[in-house]
């Protein structure tokens, strides 16, 4: 609902809002330009300046002072009128003002799209829509980050979604101010809000008899300092009953040209003062710095329009295309989906298609649409988690509906991101709620980390065994564009300890022409993932990168998994072989810039750690716990690690070998170093773990125990971004 409230008006008004914001951003510079150009005019009165201007400019009709201090005069020309800036010291005319320049054009575009009254209405409505966009966007951002307190946390979302959220967060405050003040001004223009501008001094019926005084002898104008002036209108030529109309910030009145006295002075009320303040806030007139900040914020709107449309298009593309969806009453098995961005639907659709091939009637629906399924043998819940354990969009009403449903056998396949503290948090909640309602598991809880096709396939195969079916779901994640890589060197380890590992170094093959130029920009950092498609497989395998772009090569460490598809192939290719691969950024897995960093790795998990050390500054407090089998066989990167110690890029190196007399694992070293770990964590240290899932679990338990005495949990460190895992 909230999402529709954001995306539908966004799509309809995207272009209009972008135009309003872009023109607003241009206008925001005007107060600063004015301020630079505005003459210094201390100690002058309106009477003095008016007299000088009148003497220097025949046909003077009005004198105006902008809130930034620029004085301009409206002159009667031979035909028509012109406006010029005035030097208050001499009264001489300077540059023509208001001569239909670029800024005037932009201003009229911003105010009414050159459509007069209906244009004013359109911009007013757009300001209201902008307010709605900012409000709904703020709530969406809070939801996705996991609460109001997390609002300043780093945004973990890919590409367009990430940039949309980051830029929106930066611009949010400014956009709120612009939209709110713009809406107010529009409502005031149409008289819906009382702004006090209809309060005006009564026009005097007549002026005193006699000959008019020179302007500089009008006592009422002598009493008004120039900086209080808003507007001074001279009596029309040939109008014997004409008086001067003087407007200041405080009020307005008429000055009798014969007596020089103020008549019908009318004080502006609070409504007018509020209007003045909001006008200044919106335009930056007299508040040039505010203007610049609002302008910068407005500049983000066109970008937000584009990225927002991209997000919407991506979500639409990923919406389910269910080919063989059975009706609920006749379904053999029901798949209920909890999805925010739509990717979980893709998995559900793949599984449904595969089961359909085996003759089963599958009904796929949103978790929100939970119903009665008289024929079904069970329900499979496939759900993602939104933010900090919140339900995704298609499951938001599920728990409310659950009470009324009759219990059935069920299974849960949860989708999440291991780097989040509440990994699959919502799926856990669903599991507990179902159990509490008396539902029975027909399969253990399954998890898919970061849309891993491998995790998904493994779970589906286990599920197939339960049904005595051989299931091979055809899941195609939408793959990013691939780049061609050429193997330039390989180093082999671990053959003697029955754990062959190859360190493979690739060069990016530069295509000809513009593609080559573009591919130079392929950015990657150590810790990002390299997706490789092995021959004859549609599922990419992901390997942690051991190098960054500045190293000039792409490096991974690959352990040969018996019976695998990709790793045996990679362990056999020779230099010169070309493969296709893509980079999947993993920005969450990066060492912090300040404070101690504790790297913990086992086996090929040392890859990204080596990458981090290659780019590290000397003297950084980085230490590495590294577990392998045997120093003579699978001590990966031994030479580089020693060099790192010597050059000061690595402060401590603690190794553990399991096939030596020691029979030690990294977790044993951590246990012995518990006091040191506590000290480093208390000093703001960060822990990065890379290795197998089993190793990562053992390390987490060990760290939990080590930190127990100081009352800090791994969960808390994860929430603070100080405990990062890359486990496979």
Contacts to another protein by CB under 8 A: 61-62, 64, 72, 74, 76, 78-83, 98-100, 104, 108, 116-117, 189, 191, 197-198, 200, 202-203, 233, 236, 239, 245
From the CB of 512, what's the least distance to another protein, in Å? 54
From the CB of 291, what's the least distance to another protein, in Å? 19
CB closer to another protein, 193 vs 296: 193
Q: Any residues with CB less than 8 A from the CB of 16 and at least 6 apart, and which?
A: 122, 126
CB closer to another protein, 193 vs 303: 193
Cα 451-456-462 angle, rounded to 5 deg? 165
CB closer to another protein, 96 vs 721: 96
From the CB of 391, what's the least distance to another protein, in Å? 46
CB closer to another protein, 110 vs 164: 110
From the CB of 145, what's the least distance to another protein, in Å? 44
If phi > 0 it is left, if psi is from -120 to 50 it is alpha, else beta; for residue 608 that is: alpha
From the CB of 70, what's the least distance to another protein, in Å? 12
d(CA 417, CA 450): 5
d(CA 437, CA 402): 8
CB closer to another protein, 119 vs 162: 119
Kindly report the number of other CB atoms within 10 A of residue 515's CB atom. 10
Strands 262-267 and 333-338, by their bridges, are unpaired
Which of 581, 635, 628, 636 has the alpha carbon at shortest distance from 607? 636
Coil, helix or strand at residue 663: coil
Q: Residue for token digits 């006008």? A: 279
CB closer to another protein, 64 vs 549: 64
CB closer to another protein, 233 vs 457: 233
Q: Per 3-state DSSP, what percentage of the chain is helix, strand, and coil (rounded to 5)?
A: 40, 20, 35
CB closer to another protein, 96 vs 302: 96
Ramachandran angles phi, psi of 66, nearest 5°: -75, 155
d(CA 657, CA 663): 6
Kindly report the number of other CB atoms within 10 A of residue 36's CB atom. 9
From the CB of 290, what's the least distance to another protein, in Å? 22
What's the Cα-to-Cα distance from 54 to each of 48, 61, 173, 253, 260, rounded to whole Å? 10, 9, 45, 20, 17
From the CB of 107, what's the least distance to another protein, in Å? 9
From the CB of 146, what's the least distance to another protein, in Å? 47
Give Cα 375 to chain centroid, integer Å: 45
From the CB of 254, what's the least distance to another protein, in Å? 10
List residues bridging with 251 in a β-sheet: 267
From the CB of 187, what's the least distance to another protein, in Å? 12
CB closer to another protein, 284 vs 425: 284
d(CA 141, CA 150): 10
Which of 476, 567, 492, 475 has the alpha carbon at shortest distance from 530? 567
CB closer to another protein, 82 vs 169: 82
- State both tokens at 409: 């056998």
Query: Distance from first CA to last CA of the chain, Å, rounded?
Result: 36
């Amino acid at each position: 609902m909230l999402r529709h409230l954001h995306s539908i008006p966004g799509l309809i008004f995207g272009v209009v809002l972008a135009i309003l914001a872009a023109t607003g951003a241009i206008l925001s510079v005007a107060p600063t330009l004015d301020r630079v150009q505005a003459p210094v005019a201390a100690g002058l009165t309106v009477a003095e300046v008016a007299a000088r201007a009148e003497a220097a400019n025949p046909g003077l009709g009005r004198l105006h002072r902008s809130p930034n201090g620029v004085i301009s005069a409206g002159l009667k020309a031979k035909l028509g009128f012109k406006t010029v800036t005035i030097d208050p010291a001499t009264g001489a005319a300077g540059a023509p003002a208001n001569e239909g320049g670029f800024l005037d054009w932009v201003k009229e575009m911003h105010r009414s799209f050159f459509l007069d009254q209906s244009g004013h209405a359109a911009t007013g409505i757009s300001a209201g829509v902008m307010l709605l966009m900012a409000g709904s966007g703020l709530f969406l951002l809070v939801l996705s980050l996991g609460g109001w307190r997390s609002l300043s946390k780093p945004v973990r979302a890919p590409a367009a979604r990430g940039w949309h959220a980051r830029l929106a967060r930066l611009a949010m405050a400014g956009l709120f101010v612009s939209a709110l003040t713009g809406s107010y001004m529009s409502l005031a223009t149409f008289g819906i809000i009382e702004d006090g501008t209809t309060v005006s001094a009564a026009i005097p019926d007549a002026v005193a008899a006699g000959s008019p005084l020179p302007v500089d002898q009008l006592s009422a104008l002598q009493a008004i300092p120039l900086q209080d002036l808003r507007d001074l209108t001279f009596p029309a030529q040939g109008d014997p009953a004409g008086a001067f109309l003087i407007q200041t910030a405080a009020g307005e009145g008429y000055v009798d040209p014969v007596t020089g006295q103020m008549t019908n002075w009318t004080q502006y009320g609070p409504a007018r003062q509020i209007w003045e303040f909001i006008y200044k806030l919106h335009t930056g007139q007299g508040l040039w710095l505010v203007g610049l900040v609002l302008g910068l914020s407005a500049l983000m709107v066109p970008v937000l329009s584009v990225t927002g449309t991209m997000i919407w298009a991506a979500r639409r593309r990923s919406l389910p295309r269910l080919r063989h969806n059975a009706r609920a009453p006749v379904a053999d098995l029901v798949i209920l989906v909890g999805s925010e961005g739509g990717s979980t639907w893709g998995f559900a659709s793949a599984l449904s298609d595969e089961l359909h091939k085996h003759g089963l009637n599958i009904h796929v629906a949103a978790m929100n649409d939970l119903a009665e399924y008289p024929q079904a043998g069970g329900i499979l819940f496939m759900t993602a988690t939104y933010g900090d354990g919140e339900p995704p969009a298609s499951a938001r009403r599920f728990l409310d509906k659950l009470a009324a449903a009759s219990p059935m056998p069920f299974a849960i396949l949860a989708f999440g991101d291991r780097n989040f503290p509440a990994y699959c948090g919502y799926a856990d909640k669903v599991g507990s709620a179902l159990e509490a309602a008396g539902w029975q598991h027909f399969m253990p809880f399954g998890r898919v980390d970061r849309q891993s096709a491998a995790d998904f396939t493994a779970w589906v195969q286990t599920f197939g065994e339960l049904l005595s079916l051989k299931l091979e779901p055809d899941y195609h994640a939408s793959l990013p564009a691939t780049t061609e890589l050429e193997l330039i060197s390989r180093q082999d380890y671990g053959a003697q300890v029955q754990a062959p590992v190859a360190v493979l170094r690739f060069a990016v093959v530069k295509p000809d022409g513009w593609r080559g130029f573009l591919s130079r920009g392929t950015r990657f950092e150590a810790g990002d993932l390299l997706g490789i498609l092995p021959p004859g497989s549609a599922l990419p395998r992901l390997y942690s990168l051991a190098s960054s772009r500045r190293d000039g090569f792409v490096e991974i460490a690959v352990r040969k998994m018996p019976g695998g598809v990709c790793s045996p192939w990679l362990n056999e290719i020779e230099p010169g072989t070309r493969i296709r691969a893509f980079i999947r950024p993993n920005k969450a897995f990066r060492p912090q810039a300040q404070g101690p960093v504790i790297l913990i790795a086992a086996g090929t998990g040392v890859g990204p750690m080596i990458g981090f050390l290659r780019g590290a500054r000397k003297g950084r407090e980085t230490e590495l716990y590294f577990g392998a089998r045997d120093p003579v066989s699978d001590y990966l990167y031994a030479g580089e690690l020693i060099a790192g110690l010597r050059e000061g890029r690595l402060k401590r190196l603690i190794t553990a070998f399991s096939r030596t007399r020691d029979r030690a694992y990294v977790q044993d070293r951590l246990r012995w170093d518990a006091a040191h770990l506590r000290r480093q964590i208390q000093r703001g240290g960060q822990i990065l773990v890379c290795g197998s899932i089993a190793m990562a679990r053992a390390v987490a338990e060990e760290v939990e125990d080590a930190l127990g005495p100081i009352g800090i949990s791994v969960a808390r460190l994860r929430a603070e971004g100080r405990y990062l895992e890359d486990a496979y």
